[in-house]
Amino acid sequence: MLITLICVPYEVSAQLTWSPVFFSEDDSLTISFGASAGNGDLEGFQGDVYLYTGVITSSSTSGTDWKYVKPNGSNGWSTFPANLKMNATGSDQWLFTFAPSIRDFFDVPDSENIEKIALLFRGEQGGEAVKVGRMADGSDWFIPIEESGLTLTRLSPARNFTFCNSPCAVDIEIHLSTTQPDSTRSIRLLRQSPQGTYSDTLAVTSGDTLRTTQVFSEPQVHKLLAIGSSADLQDSSFFDVMVSEAPLNQKRPDGLKDGITEHQDGSVSFSLFAPNKSIVHLVGDFNDWNPTQEFVLKRDSLNPDSTWFWTTLTGLEMDKAYRFQYLVDGEIRIADPYSELILDPNDDRWIPASINASFPNYPVDKTQFHVGVFELDEPIFEWSDQTFTPPPKEELVIYELLLRDFVEDHTFETLIDTLDYLERLGVNAIELMPVNEFEGNSSWGYNPSHYFAVDKYYGTKKQFKRFVNESHRRGIAIILDMVLNHSFGQSPMVRLYAEGDYGPPTEENPWFNQVAKHDFNVGYDMNHERLATQYFVDRVTQFWLEEFHIDGFRFDLSKGFTQRNTLGNVGAWGQYDESRIRLLKRMADHMWSINPDAYVILEHFAEYREERELASYGALLWRNMNYAYGQATMGFASGSDFSGVHHLAAGFPNANLIGYMESHDEQWLMYKNVNYGNSSGDYSVRDFRTALTRQPIAGAFFFLWPGPKMIWQFGELGYGGGQGECLKGHEYANEEQCLPSDPGRTAPKPIRWTYRDNPLRYAIYEQWSAMISLRKQDPLFTSASTEVKHYLNVDQKWMYLQGPSSDTKALIVGNFGVEPQSRNFKVTNFTTETTWYDYFSGDSLVANEQGLLSFDQQPGEFSILTTKSFATPLVSVSTEDDQSRMSIPTSFEVSSVYPNPFNPEARFEIDISKPSNVSVHVVDILGRTVHIVQPKQRMLAGQYTFTLQATQLSSGTYFVSVQSDENGFFMTPFTVLK
């Protein structure tokens, strides 16, 4: 029996152990995992650790094709069931037992053989995998099924590839273990001959340990093979030692930039900025991934801290995608930081062809870590947006969205299909949360790894260009959320100078600080004072502006663009920082040299003096008004003065504040309404239907303030407060206030296009659309010079608008309270105009002899009056809880399970007519609970669909048992057939 294993470093194998050592698929197995194993991501982690696990079987298409994954389902990664929780034993060590057998645990049919167990170790906090224990190279863990036999373990060198300069001495240590302790054992170390056979014997030992030092002088790859023998068993380990000569010193050709440059003659140049590195090899499909002397890059060194490595390839095929990497100092494998397509050894297999089939397979047997791809003579995209002009800053109505949580297949192609919906709403800009390559697939995107590649999880760069082009055709600008405060460990610029495979950065790193300069940093902090960082930042912004016709950027954590150390003092971080202002102006100047109209949007939140200076320079700044608008919609006058959404009220001379009621970082207003809303008598904001009627009035007092505005996805449909719609880690929803079943802060959220079918929800969309339309029809509602008088810290609020840009005057009056309100408004205090027009009804109103207009308003009622008559929108404004207009069930009901019998999956529905505490269990014919579908939790009125998986149950008859505090006990039968 011949067993061939890929050996792993000693410290890895020592930290992932299992008992028994030799076992079959019908045995139970206990594993022990240490935090320092592999990438060491769980070192010092204090939370619970959960397995994400599966098996490689005879039905797998490759050695990494997971089957029978637990937890299963599309959201399995963000699920943490108790049966996958590991037992903490202390000292950063965790245990887990697969029982009663490996086959039974994974429910693998007898027709398949189990070859390996696949493992990832997830550190859970707040319903998210905040830490993930992987192999040192970022790949998955695998335990081979070994019933008996012989195992050879190479302790040194730990890596399968060792690099050294000629001549070099390599210490080699190899051990054997076997289930035949009395057998005769031997280990041989062989080198491959020029003829390709392993016939050159370097060392031999009789016993279970071989220790030797071998000296290699000839510049080449020395391919080695260790063979262990015991009786009729053998095990082997292949590894390489590469000996190289110093690179040729030669100046780069004039004009050659960092990254990949295609030339008209079909040749391709590569240039890598790598100070203090000795040698770089180019490896890829063009040389079968062999780092030979022919592919050593030339070195252009002004001095040790200004060094480039470069080369030019010829003889490449047109229209062919080439995979490649840089091998730096024989140890570090990175993709080019400027690569426009990245291959990931772990994440790519989870992207189905229906989402993105445009990228080649990862070269599994050739290399490790990220791989770049280039293609000569790529087809040129035909743009048709030459006449597009981005909206002026003060007219912006931005729609912020996370593609993952906006459309089910999270693709640019499907996003194009939503443009009709967004155009009808009236938005003229879309702000996309990060779409450049980030770590993992499902993410908010604030963990960037590569800045020039579109993340494949969302589609192809051609599809993204189609989306931008189609948006521009509709007059909609595209803004990208760009993360340049930090990068994460998979970044090639982190990995090139890192203490481990994925960081932290070393002192030599030309782009990143060893220690972040502020407390809010995540990942690894960029040093924006470094010329290398400034060059890189400028290349990033220029690339997206030119290649994808992007109209601007929202810079995440822009307050972090500083080298002033404020660790431990968040207040000092926000104080006026001349160096930070200088750096941001420098970046903006470069952008405007490419596109004078480009939006520079800062998530800044610094002191007034700094923000005013940046706004006066032309930057736009995020203006968070979530708290004030939340107080208002909940029905509390205290703290509800939202005038800070207006630049003049905030003390800014220019309309450069992007006001928002909600964003990806803020709790939904609807969540606040239904959980914390005010009440009086029979009127309660916490009533679901009443909560929805509070959103249109907020829109009236939001969109009609002059200056740019932003809304967060599905806010126009009253998102928030439904099942799974709770943003964890927020003042209005800490971990205890959100339900345990609610997704983590950055985990996928429910996608609610069905909310359009709810008339009261869609009424919000219609009314907001009408308000945005009014905003577009008159400069009164956008001009920076418009004066706004207001009275807001009361229940019945009003705001009056007038200015030199328009002859129109406007008056908005609304009752945010929970009781009826009346007000006489003397319009003649502001204008001689006495005839006013109600925007939504079309009625005309005339002030009385005293110049008064009277307003008697129910809670949530509002009026938009103008001195100019505008076309009446085809929507109505109502605060009534009209049951007939809503798809809210009239009774509590539990449907039958369908299909029935079933395998592998079935569904059932529950109709809830009013909020209630509800639990859903599966019980057997004896009434014993065998599966918890949903623990008892508060559910709002609505229609809910639940899914049953056959893998959770054995064959037999069961009942869905539903218990409601308000409505009693319900049961419905079903049968599982296997």
pLDDT for res 2: 32
Whether residue 354 sits in one domain with residue 443: no
Is residue 429 located within the same domain as residue 564?
yes
437 and 557 co-located in one domain: yes
User: What one-letter code names the amino acid at 848?
Assistant: N
Please state the length of the chain.
Answer: 978
Q: What is the pLDDT of residue 884?
A: 36
Render 544-576 in DSSP notation, one character per residue. Answer: HHHHS---EEEETTGGG------TT-HHHHTS-
Q: Quick one: tokens of 612?
A: 């005013």
Residue where one domain finishes, among candidates 595, 624, 653: 624
Whole-number pLDDT of residue 10: 27
Q: Assess if residue 465 is contained within a domain.
A: yes
* Amino acid making up residue 428: N
Nearest to 928 by CA among 906, 901, 958, 962: 958
> Tokens 């599905």 identify what position?
714
Structure tokens at 92: 């950063």
Closest by CA position to 87, among listed 30, 8, 163: 30
CATH number at residue 909: 2.60.40.1930
Q: Does residue 734 belong to any structural domain of this protein?
A: no
* pLDDT value of residue 757: 86
CA nearest to 970, candidates 900, 897, 901, 905: 897
Phi, psi at 409, each rounded to 5°: -95, 5
For residue 775, the model assigns a pLDDT of: 97
Buried b / exposed e along 909-934 (16+ C-beta atoms within 10 A): ebbbeebbebbbbbeeeeeeeeeebb
Calculate helix-pair angle for 695-703, 669-676, nearest 10 degrees: 140
Give the angle 120-124-125 at the CA atoms, nearest 5°. 160
Judge residue 950's burial from the number of C-beta atoms within 10 Å of its C-beta, 0-12 exposed, 13-18 middle, 19 or more buried: middle
- Write out pLDDT tens, residues 236-249: 989 989 888 889 99
156 and 127 share one domain: no
The DSSP call for residue 890 is S
Instruction: Please tell me whether residues 563 and 495 are part of one structural domain.
Output: yes
Does any domain span residue 249?
no
Q: Is residue 196 part of a domain?
A: yes
828 is a domain residue: no
Last residue of a domain, one of 244, 269, 296: 244
Rounded to an integer, what distance in angstroms lies between the CA atom of residue 955 and that of residue 726? 36
Q: Are residues 130 and 35 in the same domain?
A: yes
For the chain (978 residues), the mean pLDDT of every run of 10, in chain order, is 30 63 85 87 88 94 89 83 91 92 94 94 85 84 79 82 84 83 85 90 91 91 91 86 89 95 95 96 95 93 87 94 96 97 94 92 94 93 97 98 96 97 98 97 96 97 98 99 97 96 94 95 96 98 99 98 95 97 98 98 97 98 98 98 96 96 96 94 91 96 98 97 85 68 90 90 95 97 96 97 95 98 93 93 93 95 96 68 51 88 86 84 88 77 80 88 87 90
For tokens 């709790």, the residue is 667
| Residue 650: inside a domain | no
Q: Is residue 669 part of a domain?
A: no
Tokens (6 digits) for 159: 């890596």
In this prediction the pTM is: 0.78
CATH of the domain at 215: 2.70.50.50
In this structure, the answer to whether residues 476 and 610 fall within a common structural domain is yes
CATH number at residue 27: 2.60.40
Report how far apart, in Å, the C-alpha atoms of 425 and of each of 200, 429, 633, 866, 884 are. 74, 11, 21, 22, 25
- Residues 161 and 144 occupy one common structural domain: no
pLDDT more than 90, % of the chain: 69
Look at the chain and report how many structural domains it folds into.
5
For every residue of 447-494, DSSP letters joined together read SBS-SSSB-GGG--HHHHHHHHHHHHHTT-EEEEEE--SEE-TTSHHH
Is the same domain home to 314 and 422? Answer: no
Q: Which residue range is the domain that position 102 belongs to?
A: 2-148
| 594 and 518 assigned to the same domain | yes
Looking at the structure, do residues 13 and 126 belong to the same domain, yes or no?
A: yes
Same domain, 12 and 133: yes
User: Pick from 121, 148, 175: which residue ends a domain?
Assistant: 148
Contacts of 790 (CB under 8 A, 6+ apart): 643, 649, 797, 798, 799, 800
360 burial (CB, 10 Å; 0-12 / 13-18 / 19+) is: middle
Q: Is residue 99 part of a domain?
A: yes
